Amino acid sequence: MTEKQTRKQLAKQIGQTLRPMGVYQIQNKENGKILLGSSMYLDTIWNRHTFQLKMGSHMNKALQQDWNQYGEEAFTFEVIEQLKPSVETYSTEEELKEYESEIKVLEELWAEKLQPYGDQGYLKAPRVKG
């Protein structure tokens, strides 16, 4: 195997390595509001949010407004629940989609528990199915 093939294979393995994943919250210490979210990349999601907030381009306008008003020091990031994968790497897209689905279910369970809507959070209340 050539060095180029070895590097390509290693890059593929790294791309298929499961990273820390689960549910997180960003909390405003000034008013107690939280943004609940989930990610396949818990190790980098806070950096993504802070970058967007610092640039003034976060998709959650209420969070952006509070960030602008109170500043970065008014916010905390916390992993609420981490999903422990049964393997270190995934071998198919279906396996990856299963983890993504499990994380969304966890997020929904935490949303039911924490109710991060209205005065308590930055999320819009879910629509009632029926």
pTM here is 0.80
Mean pLDDT of the chain: 86
What distance in Å separates the CA atoms of residue 7 and residue 43, rounded to the nearest whole number? Answer: 24
Lowest mean pLDDT among 26-40, 57-71, 91-105: 91-105
Rounded-to-integer distance, Cα 20 and Cα 28, Å: 24
* Domains of the chain by residue range: 18-119
What whole-number percentage of the chain has pLDDT above 90?
A: 65
Average pLDDT over residues 109-129: 89
The top-level CATH class assigned to 18-119 is alpha beta
- How far is it, in rounded angstroms, from Cα 117 to Cα 107? 14
